[in-house]
Amino acid sequence: MKRILIINGPNLNLLGTREKSIYGELSFEQYFKELKAKYPSLDLHYFQSNVEGVIIDKLHEVGFDFDGIVLNAGAYTHTSVAIADAIAAINTPVVEVHISNVHQRESFRHHSYLSKNCKGVILGFGLDSYRLGIASFL
Ligand code: DQA
């Protein structure tokens, strides 16, 4: 059974509450239940932290055993050389995802430090971006 971890970064614990016009009405916990039901043949896990170093620790922890990581690093995408280095340091492939189409938004969201070290990038499909990220590991 393939082991896949979804990691959400800062402020994504507030999905369903936060800026609903951009990020939608569903909490990630609700959506994650749907994902688990959709992929019973996968060992799917979910982790969220608002803290950069904690996200890095989690990447190190699973990054030599799991089959795939789907990472929405939130605003750290645009700032974090340290998360980019952690992705490069581990063996597990990482897919970068974003709920919104960051290229339609402020210019500071157009650059990602992470993309270069990721297997691929999926953005702009709402919460379905996560499902598409998982599908890339099937
Ligand atoms: C986001 C886009 C980021 O620019 C933003 O800081 C987020 C969420 C997205 O999923 O669309 O927190 O990663």
Q: What is the CA radius of gyration of the chain?
A: 14
| Catalytic residue annotation | 23, 98
* pLDDT recorded at residue 12: 97
For ligand 1, atom 12, the nearest C-alpha belongs to 74
Ligand 1 pocket, mutate which of 6, 52, 109, 127 (most atoms under 8 A from CB)? 109
In which residue ranges of the chain is pLDDT below 50? none
CA triplet 45, 47, 63: central angle to 5 degrees? 75
Alpha-carbon gap, residue 64 to 40, rounded angstroms: 23
Alpha-carbon gap, residue 128 to 64, rounded angstroms: 26
Measuring CA to CA, how many Å separate 59 from each of 24, 105, 123? Answer: 27, 28, 21
Q: Which CATH architecture has domain 3-135?
A: 3-Layer(aba) Sandwich (3.40)
For ligand 1, atom 7, the nearest C-alpha belongs to 74
* pLDDT recorded at residue 18: 86
* pLDDT recorded at residue 117: 98
Residue of 73, 71, 123 whose CA lies nearest to 93: 71
115 CA → ligand 1 middle, Å: 14
* pLDDT recorded at residue 49: 98
For ligand 1, atom 13, the nearest C-alpha belongs to 74
CA triplet 99, 27, 20: central angle to 5 degrees? 60
Residue of 12, 5, 10 whose CA lies nearest to 78: 10
The DSSP 8-state label assigned to residue 75 in this structure reads G
Ligand 1 pocket, mutate which of 15, 18, 72 (most atoms under 8 A from CB)? 72
Whether the pTM exceeds 0.95: the reply is yes
